[in-house]
Amino acid sequence: MALGPRLELRQGQGLVITPQLQQAIKLLQLSNIELDAFVEEELERNPLLQRDEGEAVVEAPVEPERATADYAVDEAPDSAASADFDAHPDEVSPGERATGDGAEAEQAGGQIDWSRTGGGGGFDGEDGYESALGRAKTLSEHLHDQLAVAALTPAQKVVAGVLIDGTDDTGYLRLDLAETAERLGCGLGFVEAVLTVLQGFEPTGVLARDVRECLALQLRELDRLDPAMAALLDNLDLVARRDMAALKRLCGVDDEDLRDMLAELRALTPRPGAAFHAEPAQTLVPDVHVREGLGGLWHVELNTDTLPRVLVDQRYHARVSAGARSDQEKTFVSDCLSTANWLVKSLDQRAKTILKVSSEIVRQQDGFLAFGVEHLRPLNLKTVADAIGMHESTVSRVTSNKYIATPRGVFELKFFFTSSISATDGGEAHSAQSVRFKIKGLIEAERIEADVHSDDRIVEILKDAGVDIARRTVAKYREAMRIPSSVERRRLMKETC
């Protein structure tokens, strides 16, 4: 057989991830804060985009139709955009998957035409003089203010500034003194002397290098750092294990003195910088609201305050296109128009997808909304994805960093995805979250030492209630809730009594 080059034509199908599709997938998993920042960048980058400042017109939720179920959801998303989202079903990581069988629920819901609503906004110049006066100081600013009036030489103030800048938000010094001294070209004793002065600043205990030093500084100011208390600080690991016999022997005190010393220790602050905040905390704004309507139906609505409203300025595009002369200018205008149109379309489809997924979650977990956490059903990504005709990866992206406001509080959408625990009688499985709630309730009901339940006893109680669970699972859930063992709970009750 002769070997030689030849030209062949073959027809095939393939998936190409365009930059626009990548952007649409990225928008799905952004939180409302991240989305707002992304839109602001696009508004600065693309001259054809502008923010819609029109007056918001909110439509009332549509009453669901009653057929086989009292639940309605928007079933008319843009088909092309919907196909784009599910065209590349990335494999979901194991951490994003929840196991368990979905249970049929009483169906309830609602819909809203969100596209005609406006986002909330503030006034320009809110961060003015009054805002600056009301802003709380950070720990670093508070320490630098004290440094400015401290009686230190210029060289000492330079070292002090470096040490303050090396202090974290909790008030602990995170710099190595020897390395700092070598970097600044001064002696270690000089740096230690400056640190001693700084440790006298407010709040007491600041710039300590560990917990022991932090507590010692506070006790020294209270004139309570005697040899017995110093011995107690040297054995904080025994305090954590509540080994009272060893502590009494090492400190040389009796039971009453040890109780008083531990009470003084509890009154101290192990994190002196906790009262200061490096940055103002971001307010949690839900993406979806759920409210109860007539007849026990649940109405699902998007929070319009979190929806950025942008428009394509067609008039400006016509003017710029008419004035474009070179091919480079025409290409730039064309790319800006294409990007702007795709962003508006992606934001529209993102909102519809969030509403669709949230409505299905509400339908599946209406028992939780009506009766509480004990009625939370097992639910996984596949159950929701199959019900709304999307891929699991799309549902996973939608539920990441998204929050829903319900009559029972604000929850992350992933809160409603819980694994299942089998029932002893072969009936409907139990949600892991509801089982945790039952375990917590049993332990909180303990009042006297005789009422303390061991993990084995909790297993027996749960099995009598129809929950088939292993002892190691009970121990895992208890430790995850930071509940001590039955031995430690009995010891705490004995000491309290």
**What region, left, alpha or beta, does residue 190 occupy, with left being phi > 0 and alpha being psi -120 to 50 degrees?**
alpha
Q: How do the pLDDT tens digits run along the chain, 497 residues long?
A: 568 888 888 888 876 777 777 878 888 888 888 898 999 999 998 898 888 765 443 333 333 333 333 343 333 334 434 444 454 444 434 334 333 433 333 333 333 333 333 333 333 444 444 444 445 678 888 999 999 888 889 889 989 999 999 998 889 999 999 999 998 888 999 999 999 999 999 999 999 999 999 999 999 999 989 999 999 999 998 888 888 888 888 999 998 888 889 989 889 988 888 887 655 556 788 999 999 888 778 999 999 888 888 888 888 888 888 888 888 888 888 889 988 898 999 999 999 999 999 999 999 988 888 888 878 888 889 999 999 999 999 999 999 889 999 998 889 998 888 877 777 766 667 778 888 888 888 888 887 777 888 888 888 888 888 888 888 888 888 888 888 888 888 877 776 65
Residue with tokens 């939608």: 398
Structure tokens at 184: 């600044």
Q: How many residues does the chain have?
A: 497
Confirm if 348 and 81 have CB atoms less than 8 A apart. Answer: yes
CA 49, 53, 54, 55 dihedral sign is: positive
Burial class (CB in 10 A: 0-12, 13-18, 19+), 313: middle
d(CA 52, CA 473): 53
Domains (ranges, CATH) in the chain?
Answer: 27-121+284-416 (no CATH), 139-275 (no CATH), 422-496 (1.10.10)
Would you call 4 helix, strand, or coil by DSSP? coil
Instruction: Read off the amino acid at residue 105.
Output: A
| Whole-number Cα distances in Å, 214 to 34, 125, 166, 221, 404 | 38, 41, 16, 11, 41
Q: What is the largest CA-CA distance in the chain?
A: 101
d(CA 128, CA 120): 20
Helix axis angle for 327-364 and 381-388, nearest 10°, is 110
pTM over 0.85: no
Would you call 412 helix, strand, or coil by DSSP? strand
